[in-house]
Amino acid sequence: MIGGLSNGELIPAIETTYYELLAVLQTSIPGGFWRREPDMIIYYSGAQVPLLNGVLGPRFTVENMSRRFETAMSHFKSKRMPMRWLLGPSSSPPDLGELLSHQGLKEGWAIPGMILDLGTVDREPLPKGLEIQQVTDTEPLRVCGDTLAEGFELRDEIGKSVSDAVISYGMSPTRRWFLGRLNGKAVTVSLLVLHAEFAGIYCVATIPEARGKGLGYAITREPLMAAKNEGHKIAVLEASRMGFPVYRRIGFRQLCQFRTYTWSP
């Protein structure tokens, strides 16, 4: 139990904050949209990147599963747009993943949903030469987008689409980008999104040449400290394969997981 909440209450918070972030950030590109239906969220960016188009948190019945699958896929098949399905803890029915695989979608990394008691986080010194700033204007925000794309190793049009999404998503009191510079060069980035009592950490990335120096650890902890200092009690995130051991070291623990299935025309 964290912040007086049981695991049964924390898991839905991990899930809903993740879906909201993905839907808004990834459709921030001009022409993008997202729509909440009673049993799923459909989002579309117009970019030829599976990550930027898809279906979030489907909750179908055994009886309507095939029909709802076809309804969702029609949006992307008609535009020949690559996309992915993200199945969370509340997704149903249990064999929905089997249907997606049977339809030719490729199953990917099972994404851990993790949680942290912010009361356990204390200030630590940054790695030598690293400076971290909270972004407050447009030019550093563009640098955040470019650093994120490079950190995710996305190039050409795909990398530009991700960078453009960062610019369009923007910043606000509840959307805060953090940019780390090592000896003056932008090398690492993260995003803090505040949802009521929860602090979500997303878009953590370090460019390949700067990895192995503790920068991902530092760029994750900095927004956590900001959230803690403002009275937030609980942090949530979804871990990449590379980030998982870093988050464990900070003190995050896994409560659930998300399954991904990708389709390309």
- Minimal CA–CA distance to 192: which of 87, 249, 116? 116
- Are both 154 and 98 inside the same structural domain? no
- Examine residue 77 and state whether it is found in any structural domain, yes or no: yes
**Shared-domain flag, residues 22 and 40:** yes
Q: Which pLDDT does position 1 carry in this prediction? A: 62
Over range 152-156, report the average pLDDT. Answer: 83
CATH code of 159's domain:
3.40.630.30
Residues 244 and 165 in one domain: yes
Query: Could you tell me which residues come within 8 angstroms of residue 166 by beta carbon, excluding any fewer than 6 positions away?
Result: 25, 28, 141, 142, 144, 145, 148, 177, 203
Using the 3D structure, point to which of 80, 97, 113 is the last residue of a domain: 113
Contact 181, 207 (CB under 8 A): no
Do 121 and 245 have their domain in common?
A: yes
Residue 230, domain member (yes or no): yes
- Integer CA distances (angstroms), 265 to 46, 50, 79, 104, 262, in order: 14, 10, 9, 11, 10
- In the predicted structure, residue 3 carries a pLDDT above the cut 80: no
* Residue 260 covered by a domain: no
What residues contact residue 83 under an 8 Å CB cut-off, 6+ apart? 50, 53, 54, 55, 76, 262, 263
Question: pTM (2 decimals)?
Answer: 0.88
Count: domains in the chain: 2
Last-in-domain residue among 50, 81, 113:
113
Residue 263: pLDDT over 70? yes
Does residue 45 carry a pLDDT above 90? Answer: no
Q: What is the pLDDT of residues 168-187, one digit of tens each?
A: 889 999 999 999 999 999 99
Which range of residues forms the domain containing residue 67?
A: 7-113
The reply to whether 248 falls in a domain is yes
Indicate the residue among 94, 113, 132 that finishes a domain: 113
Phi, psi of 63 (to 5 degrees): -70, -35
Q: At 42, is the pLDDT very low, low, confident or very high (cuts 50, 70, 90)?
A: very high
